[in-house]
Amino acid sequence: MASTKMKIKKNKTGGRDVMVLAKHPMETGLRKDKKTGEKIPAHYIETMDFAVNGAVVAQANLGAGVSKNPLIGMSMAGAKSGDTISVSWTDNKGETGTVEKAVK
Following DSSP, what letter does each residue of 5-27 receive, concatenated? EEEEEE-TTSSEEEEEEE----B
CA-nearest of 50, 98, 101, 49 to 77 is: 50
Q: The pTM is what?
A: 0.89
Does residue 54 belong to any structural domain of this protein?
A: yes
Start-end of H helices in 9-102: none
- Calpha distance 35→89 (Å, rounded): 31
pLDDT tens by residue, 23-76: 999 999 999 999 999 999 999 999 999 999 999 999 999 999 999 999 999 999
Report the distance separating Cα 55 and Cα 48, nearest Å: 14
Name the band, by pLDDT with cuts 50, 70 and 90, for residue 4. confident
The CATH number of the domain holding residue 14 is: 2.60.40.10
Select from 103, 29, 28, 13 the least CA-distant residue to 67: 28
- Give the number of domains in the chain: 1
Q: Does residue 15 sit within a domain? A: yes
